[in-house]
Amino acid sequence: MAPESQQIIDRTAEFVRQKFLHEGSGHDWEHIRRVWQVARALARTTPGADPLITELGALLHDIADWKFHGGDEEAGPRAAREWLLSLGVGEEVIGPVEAIIREISFKGVGVATPMSTPAGQVVQDADRLDAIGAIGVARAFAYGGYKGRPLHDPAVPPIAHDSFESYKQNTAPTINHFYEKLLHLRERLHTPAARAVAEERHAFLEVFLGQFLREWEGQDL
């Protein structure tokens, strides 16, 4: 990678690190760092995944997440554009990075979320891998606590959201999130490497849910 590209990445990483270092909802710097590192690894085996666009897309994918900006889906792309323009980055990079941020989010079980570039595919895969497995469980409950949601309520069934608007308005207990999103991510990955990693992480989700529900009902006594 050219020195000027590496400098852009380094400055972006530090900018994002400072912004999200003490974030408490599971969308913190460590989440972004993991997505960045995994996306970089996936890009090495994904034809057409531009390294600079991949790394910037990963670093900036949560820069202004709609969940924390009143449901504004364009907050992230706008914030990324503003930052990259301040570094003198050209439109040939800004446009694809904006597209990654605009397209990456899960929008409901019934909503397709295709990525328009190979770089976008690896960033989405990296982000979704971080939502499953042990880290995914921890992040789900961190976010639920941040939003003041109960752990579980058997009287509130999961919903197969068929529109992004419906998904955005969801306020269900945290356990519902497993059925409404996390258990569906394994089948929505793009790259063979990500799909291989997802097998073990998906299995962990199933084991966790089984144990949680047994303990909830006192069936483990």
121 lies in some domain:
yes
Provide the pLDDT for residue 219: 81
112 lies in some domain:
yes
Q: pLDDT tier at 1 (50, 70, 90 boundaries)? A: confident
Q: Is the pLDDT at 70 greater than 90, yes or no?
A: no
User: Over the chain, what is the mean pLDDT?
Assistant: 96
The stretch 198-220 carries a mean pLDDT of: 95
CATH code of 148's domain: 1.10.3210.50
The stretch 12-18 carries a mean pLDDT of: 97
The stretch 59-80 carries a mean pLDDT of: 92
Residue 22 or residue 140, greater confidence = 140
221 lies in some domain:
no
> Number of structural domains, the chain?
1
**pLDDT tens digits, 32-62:** 999 999 999 999 999 999 999 999 999 999 9
**Parent domain of 22:** 3-216
- Dihedral sign, Cα of residue 6, residue 80, residue 149, residue 106: negative
Q: Is the pLDDT at 85 greater than 80, yes or no?
A: yes
Q: What's the predicted TM-score (pTM) here?
A: 0.95
Q: Are 25 and 146 in contact (CB under 8 A)?
A: yes
**pLDDT tens digits, 196-206:** 999 999 999 99
Helix H or strand E encompassing 206: helix 192-216
